[in-house]
Amino acid sequence: MAKLTHRPALLERLPARVVRLLREIGRLGDERGCRVYVVGGVVRDLLLGHATLDLDLSVEGDGIAFARAVADRYRTGLAVFERFATARLVFPDGLKMDIATTRRESYAQPALLPTVESASIEEDLYRRDFTINALAMQLNPGQFGRLLDVYGGRRDLRARTIRVLHAGSFQDDPTRIFRAIRFEQRFGFRLERETLRLLAQAAATNLIQQLSGPRLQNEILLLFAEQDPVRAIARLAQLNLFRFLHRRLSYPTSVRRVVTAVPRAFAWWARRFPDAVIDRPIVYVMALSSESSPAVIAAIIKRLACSREQATKMSAGGKQVDRILKRLTDRGALRPSQVYRLLADLPDEALVLLLAKQVSRQQGTRLNLLRRYLVAYMTNRTIKTSLMGRDLQAMGLKPGPQYKTILGKLLDARIDGVVTSEAEERAFVQKRLGVLGDC
Ligand code: ATP
């Protein structure tokens, strides 16, 4: 039997403009003769006292028609996903809202997307992943803020517990394995005993293998985008889940140290280079695969159906990072141009990984040296030569491969401060032309 509690005050914790909007949407629900609810993470976060941004609404009735009515009234952007009976609205101020028809889902085959049929709000809540996410609050006038807690979501929030709604939950949708770990780590909750048993049981099968690349990638990257993914990664290792990225991917102490050092590397990087935006989740994937061979990394890229950009970053993260790190820190001082040449082909994510690797080695002096190199490199990489190919031509040099060599040497000289003006660049080139003889 549904537990109903009237808690309008809880919704009032949302920003005033959002509360006004939700009240208006509730009135629209009455006008159109349907019950409207906010559901899922919004309600959970309100009960936890956390700020929440995304709004998920469920409508007992035609959710898409309702979404169109809201979109018309507020002149929002609208994207409709007929197959899932959902629509996404983006309000002129940037607020995002998903509106769905309340429905039941049936899984013809484990791990594939379900078939959807409209149903009551109670059934809609039953199809959800965990009790803490199976909560709703009604928006219609007179019922505004009424909390619908059919499956003990509030009890589990108080007990700080993640619990599935039924025994087949992980089999129906193995992405819930990753979602469980995500919420467990984010909120510092525990997996309820039976839920942990079911999760471990599902994780021990090959169900996750049946997830498509984009769905697996989405879950992994969402997990690694959390505030502190290091414990989540340890949990994945404990449950032997890396094998779904690659059967040879494991979590030895050396890799664990690098992963654990990533947050410190991020913190230093963000302080020093606040404008150089890093794809943080990808850095964790790179750290995890930092001792893997290029073939294993290529297979992970394929399994996760990575974009070309993600693939380029991840491919730069293997053992070559160790080779570059060795050359940077094992010899005496390098010239700025030598540092530039070593780092110029690496994406910024690989630079952060380089730093994390050095942090994990706990060698203070070398870490300071590497930091100095990185600071110098980030400045030096914006340096350009004044002269270009056409200037070389005007100086009498025939176009050909030597242009690249000369301009490269010229850039090095600029970076090292050997030449500092266009006039000095010209003199530098003249001198080399003399050395090269008649080209
Ligand atoms: P977050 O705070 O990370 O956005 P959320 O709970 O809002 O968490 P969403 O992924 O936005 O999560 O999903 C919204 C709601 O949809 C969830 O609260 C949950 O009720 C339901 N949901 C999402 N994914 C699943 C799933 N794989 N299986 C069952 N229910 C799900």
Q: Which two tokens stand for residue 245?
A: 């990225």
| pLDDT of 1 | 47
| pLDDT of 5 | 65
* The ligand 1 atom nearest the CA atom of 182: 3
Tens digits of per-residue pLDDT, 394-409?
A: 888 888 888 888 899 9
Query: How confident is the model over 144-149, as a mean pLDDT?
Result: 95
Mutate to test the pocket of ligand 1, among 38, 97, 105, 129 (most ligand atoms within 8 A of CB): 129
Q: How far is the CA of 40 from the centre of ligand 1 (A)?
A: 6
Cβ pair 174, 216 in contact under 8 A = no
Q: Is the four-CA dihedral 218, 220, 221, 223 of positive or negative sign?
A: positive
* The ligand 1 atom nearest the CA atom of 125: 20
Give CA separation, 154 vs 21, 178, 439, in Å. Answer: 25, 22, 81
**Residue 174 Cβ < 6 Å to ligand 1:** no
Cβ pair 336, 373 in contact under 8 A = no
Q: Is the four-CA dihedral 332, 338, 344, 346 of positive or negative sign?
A: negative
Residue 68 has pLDDT above 90, yes or no: yes
Residue 438 has pLDDT above 70, yes or no: no
> Which domains, ranges and CATH numbers included, belong to the chain?
3-159 (3.30.460.10), 169-244 (1.10.110.30), 253-380 (1.10.3090.10), 389-438 (no CATH)
Residue 342 has pLDDT above 80, yes or no: yes
**Residue that has been written with the tokens 């050997």 in this structure:** 418
* Shortest-distance Cα residue to atom 8 of ligand 1: 41
Cβ pair 252, 211 in contact under 8 A = no
**Residue 129 Cβ < 6 Å to ligand 1:** yes
Residue 363 has pLDDT above 90, yes or no: no
Distance CA 366, CA 358 (A): 8
> Helices 308-315 & 280-288, crossing angle to 10 degrees?
50
This prediction has a pTM of 0.89
* Shortest-distance Cα residue to atom 4 of ligand 1: 41
Residue 88 three-state SS: strand
Distance CA 366, CA 14 (A): 49
Mutate to test the pocket of ligand 1, among 46, 48, 53, 133 (most ligand atoms within 8 A of CB): 133
Q: How far is the CA of 369 from the centre of ligand 1 (A)?
A: 45
Q: How far is the CA of 41 from the centre of ligand 1 (A)?
A: 6
**Residue 173 Cβ < 6 Å to ligand 1:** yes
Which residues is 56 bridged to in the sheet? 98
Phi-psi region of 160 (alpha: psi -120 to 50; beta: other; left: phi over 0): left
What proportion of the chain, given as a percentage, has pLDDT over 90? 74
Cβ pair 111, 210 in contact under 8 A = yes
